Structure 1
Amino acid sequence: MGRSLAAAFLKAGHPTTVWNRSPAKAAPLVAAGAHLAPSVAAAVAASPLTVVCVTDYEAVRELLGGDGVVLDGTTLVNLTSGDSAEARETARWAGRRGARYLDGAVMAVPPVIGTAEAVILHSGPEADFAAHRTTLEALGTVTHLGADHGLASLYDVAGLAMMWSVLNAWLQGTAMLRTAGVDAVTYAPFARQIAAGVAEWLPGYAEQIDSGSYPAEVSALETDARAMTHLIEESEALGVNAELPRLFKAMADRAIAAGHGKEQYPVLIEEFSRPDPA
């Protein structure tokens, strides 16, 4: 990912200095016009904007807290993956060293960095983001989420929750249909249509969540729960793993037991907002 980020800056015509623990890995970037810094300190000193993407937040602090590294006056954009608490702590850590800090999340794979398909999230002071937005746009479609440094990480994991949930639901259906000789390629267009249809419900459901009112405009949760039972029974009858639909049903049952059976599906936000049941 780091090589892809640097390559995008170079392609956009930005003077770019790179550093890597293994200098040989930077050779293609140097061949493309990048300057190879002999040290982290030299890399940071080369520009008022430093973009870092390494293993984890601990590695960020270890590298940038080393001897000779001067962060005072630098805008540090950290695109390393981590959680929101780490992002906020690293922002405080950078601030104590005089740096302006933006936390970020790359919602893309390396091959699409530098295209509009690459979504790059940023959080931190808006003025710091605005000062470097034009440069950061070389990486893809950039978005500023707010002043809270933890927001980019939170959006990142929320997006992963969506991704894995959609994929796991598709795999559940695919496993069921395979027992009838329907292959994944045949099922995929129908599954995509269903996923797109469900996505259309989100704005209206979001309004219900934000208002705390869940009138059953489409169907009541207790109706959905009966359909979940059918899904569980069908999976078990086919010899397909039923753990995922049983999880759906367990959460719905708790909400119904709490008196929410006549309300619409988004009322389950109350279950998702609680810690795991004992």
Structure 2
Amino acid sequence: MVLNLANKGNLDSPLIVWNRSPKRAEALGDLKVHVAASLEEAISKADIVFSCLSNDEAIKSVYEAALKIPGGVKGKIFAECSTIHPDTTRELEKMTKEAGAVFVAAPVFGAPAAAIAGALVFVVAGSKAGIEKISPYLQGVMGRLVIDLSDDPDVGKALILKVTGNTIILGMVEALSEGHVLAEKSGLGTENFEKFITALFGASPYLPYSKRLTTGDYVREEPLFGVDLAAKDARHALSLAKASGTTMPITEIAAQNLAAVKEELGASGDIASIYGVMRKKAGLPFIEKK
């Protein structure tokens, strides 16, 4: 997101960047960015603040600090892109408004490769004026599409869509993992099963995820969709389902398998590592040594 915003955002001045892990921000030194020494510096110099953090606790702690900087934040626009519980988003909106600033919920769909390619899908809700201000930096810069939910006054709806949408990815990985294991155990072979995936779903995320399984890329040093993030999304979805009086059996099963991934691989586990869990349940090694 930073890469595309800095290079394609037509900014009048360098993009201000702050990260809780300073080394990550410093690694952007070759871009047209200014790495802020503190959160206070970053917020005080910005008119629009995009934020994207790993979980609800992290984003709440950052907002609590950001909204209390000396000089205040009146009139600033806060666009929040994290995948968090809808109730957390509603809380952030309330805090932001009380501080005199403008809040926009703007969660994104897309893997790291989509972010690098500027192909994210944004879901926006909240202040229409705020959305209008950030729009030049969304479609065509950081994203390829914007889903606008601003006609609904509830900013939480953007996160309901985001969390529910992520269960589709989780269910897809679960189904692919089950299918590939059955193909191997039944003698059909994963290559033949992948031919079917290619024929029917080649233009969708199914094929890239399938290839991650068949090439062994479901175990890696740096996860593409970390197990902790995937498990957090599943918890949020199941919480929403319970509060709404419904159930999500596929998500429940996938959540159990994510817990097994965490036990097997720790924090380096990936959502695609569910395949290893399914293999192990079937009497196959977690990962096939090539």
TM-score range, shorter chain: 0.5 to 0.7
- For the 8 Å contact 2:67–2:96, the answer to whether it is kept is no
For the residue of structure 2 that corresponds to 1:98, the secondary structure is coil
Q: Which residue type is aligned with residue 133 of structure 2?
A: A
In the TM superposition, what are the counterparts of 1:192-203 in structure 2 within 5 Å? Answer: none
What does 1:1-278 correspond to in 2, within 5 Å? 5-12=1-8, 13-14=10-11, 15-55=14-54, 56=56, 57-68=59-70, 70-113=72-115, 115=117, 117-137=119-139, 138-141=141-144, 142-146=146-150, 147=152, 148-191=154-197, 274-275=245-246
CA contact (8 A) 1:106 1:120 kept: yes
Shift of 1:154: 0.8
CA shift at 1:193, angstroms? 5.3
Q: Which amino acid aligns with 1:43?
A: A
Q: TM-score, normalised by structure 1?
A: 0.63
Q: Is the 8 A contact 1:40 1:69 kept in 2?
A: no
Q: Which of structures 1 and 2 has the larger relative contact order (alpha carbons within 8 angstroms, sep 6+)?
A: 2
Report if aligned partners of 1:54, 1:60 keep a CA contact under 8 Å in 2.
no
User: How large is the Cα RMSD of the aligned pairs?
Assistant: 2.7
- The 1-side partners of 2:107 and 2:182 are apart by 35
Following superposition, the deviation at residue 41 of structure 1 comes to 2.0
Structure 1 Cα separation of the partners of residues 73 and 115 of structure 2: 26
CA displacement at 1:28 relative to structure 2: 2.9
1:115-145 per-position Cα deviation (integer Å, ceiling 9, x unaligned): 3532122211223212220123321123322
- Identify the residue that residue 272 of structure 2 maps to in structure 1: none
Q: Name 1:238's counterpart in structure 2.
A: none
What's the TM-score, normalizing by structure 2?
A: 0.61
Give, in whole Å, the separation in 1 of the partners of 2:99 and 2:108.
25
Identical counterparts, % of pairs? 21
Greater radius of gyration (CA): 1
Q: Give the aligned residue type for 1:139.
A: M
- Check conservation: 1:170, 1:191, Cα contact below 8 A: no
* Partners of 1:136 and 1:70 in 2: CA distance: 26
Question: Could you report, residue by residue, the CA deviation over 1:196-230 in whole angstroms, capped at 9, with x for unpaired residues?
Answer: 9xxxxxxxxxxxxxxxxxxxxxxxxxxxxxxxxxx
Is the partner of 2:170 in helix, strand or coil?
Answer: helix
**SS of match in other structure, 1:123:** strand
Q: Taking structure 1 as reference, are residues 116 and 27 closer, same or farther at Cα in structure 2, changes over 3 Å only? A: closer
CA distance in structure 2 between the partners assigned to 1:154 and 1:9 by the alignment = 26
Unaligned runs of 5+ in 1: 197-270
SS of residue paired to 1:113: helix
CA deviation after TM superposition for structure 1 residue 11, in Å: 1.0
> What is the CA-CA distance between 1:100 and the residue it aligns to?
0.6
Cα distance in 2 between the residues matched to 1:75 and 1:125: 9
Find the residue that maps to 2:105 and give its secondary structure: strand
Residues 44 and 70 in structure 1, CA contact (< 8 A), matched pair in contact too: no
1:132–1:181 distance in 2 versus 1, CA, 3 Å: same
- Say which is worse superposed, 14-23 or 45-54, in terms of deviation: 14-23
Q: Which runs of 5+ in 2 are unaligned?
A: 203-241, 249-290
Provide closer, same or farther for how the CA distance between residues 272 and 181 of structure 1 changes in structure 2, counting only shifts above 3 A. Answer: farther
Q: Structure 1 residues 34-43 or 60-69, which shifts more?
A: 60-69
- Structure 1 position 58, deviation (Å): 2.0
State the secondary structure of the residue aligned to 1:77: strand
Name the aligned partner's letter for residue 245 of structure 2: R
